């Protein structure tokens, strides 16, 4: 009985460990704070217990980035598709956050600094490449199927993010999100847009609830 209890406790402790930083992208400064999230939460999450969320009404959103292993790791995916993915994701988050926060371009009191990245890379990989879509403009795009390479990338990718006090740089929260293995496939641009909207709605709603913006 005692052996069984000890084994159970050891298993529970192992399940609460932070993810192996070598298997993560390196986008976040420190993965050791992360712990598995509860039901309905991100797979890995950290929240500063001393954060005073109610004081924030502004957001400084940094350009969303895409992290990959070297410049040739995603040669099967047209780079324009990757840039469009990053641009669409940033636009979706910006639209959703704009319902409850005021966007600013400079750090100030009462401002959250939000950093987001789409990652498909490990810090242990020999080379990293980072894409941004700042200043990119896209023509109207009819709905259509995603390339097989982009579908595979989306299935394997994570979304990493952190929220800091823009004035003091104090870390307020950070997390890593991944698609569930049983999630329905994303095969078209329309389905991808819906998935990005769902993620933004869920994540921004939690932020609004914590800050009392809605």
Residues whose CB falls within 8 Å of the CB of residue 180, separated by 6 or more in sequence, listed in order? none
* 7: pLDDT strictly greater than 90: no
DSSP 185: P
Cα separation of 16 and 124, whole Å? Answer: 23
Considering the entire predicted model, what is its pTM? 0.86
Query: Worst-scoring range by mean pLDDT, 41-50, 76-85, 199-208?
Result: 76-85
* 152: pLDDT strictly greater than 70: yes
Q: Which CATH architecture has domain 24-209?
A: 2-Layer Sandwich (3.30)
Kindly state the tokens that stand for 23.
């298997």
Contact between 73 and 129 under an 8 Å Cβ cutoff? The reply is: yes
Task: Tell me the average pLDDT across 140-145.
Answer: 71
Domain layout of the chain by residue ranges:
24-209
CA neighbor of 36 nearest in space, from 162, 203, 175: 175
Cα separation of 28 and 116, whole Å? Answer: 10
Kindly state the tokens that stand for 139.
């023509």
Reported confidence tier of residue 136, pLDDT bands at 50, 70, 90: low
Task: Tell me the average pLDDT across 116-140.
Answer: 76
| pLDDT for position 143 | 74
Query: Worst-scoring range by mean pLDDT, 23-27, 45-49, 207-211?
Result: 23-27
For the chain, the average pLDDT equals 85
* 4: pLDDT strictly greater than 50: no
Each residue's pLDDT tens digit, 186-199: 999 999 999 999 99
Task: Tell me the average pLDDT across 132-161.
Answer: 81
Q: CB count, 10 Å around CB of 30?
A: 12
Q: CB count, 10 Å around CB of 165?
A: 20
| pLDDT for position 101 | 96
As a whole number of Å, the end-to-end CA separation of the chain is: 50
Reported confidence tier of residue 122, pLDDT bands at 50, 70, 90: confident
Please work out, in degrees rounded to the nearest 5, the angle formed at the alpha carbon of residue 210 by the alpha carbons of 170 and 45. 60
Strands 129-132 and 171-178: unpaired
Contact between 86 and 66 under an 8 Å Cβ cutoff? The reply is: yes
| pLDDT for position 194 | 93
Task: Tell me the average pLDDT across 73-97.
Answer: 89
| pLDDT for position 16 | 57
Contact between 59 and 111 under an 8 Å Cβ cutoff? The reply is: yes
Q: What is the DSSP string of 24-93?
A: S-S-SS-STT-EE--TTS-SEEEE-TT--GGG--EEEEPPPEEEESSTTTTTTS-HHHHHHHHHHHHHHH
Beta bridge partners of 176: 44, 160
């Amino acid at each position: 009985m005692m052996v069984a209890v000890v084994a159970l406790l050891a298993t529970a402790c192992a399940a609460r460990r932070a993810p192996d930083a070598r298997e993560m992208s390196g986008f976040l400064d420190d993965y050791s704070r992360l712990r598995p999230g509860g039901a309905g939460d991100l797979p890995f999450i950290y929240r500063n217990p001393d954060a005073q969320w109610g004081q924030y009404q502004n957001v400084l959103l940094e350009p969303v980035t895409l992290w990959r292993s070297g410049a040739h790791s995603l040669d099967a995916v047209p780079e324009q598709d990757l840039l469009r993915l990053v641009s669409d994701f940033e636009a979706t988050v910006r639209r959703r956050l704009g319902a409850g926060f005021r966007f600013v371009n400079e750090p100030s009191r009462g401002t959250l600094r939000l950093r987001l990245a789409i990652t498909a890379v490990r810090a242990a990989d020999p080379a990293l490449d980072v894409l941004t879509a700042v200043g990119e403009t896209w023509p109207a795009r009819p709905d259509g199927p995603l390339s097989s390479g982009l579908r595979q990338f989306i299935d394997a990718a994570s979304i990493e993010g952190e929220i800091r006090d823009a004035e003091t740089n104090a870390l307020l929260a950070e997390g890593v999100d991944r698609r569930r293995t049983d999630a329905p496939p994303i095969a078209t641009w329309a389905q991808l847009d819906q998935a990005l909207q769902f993620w933004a709605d869920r994540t921004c709603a939690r932020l609004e609830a914590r800050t009392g913006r809605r």
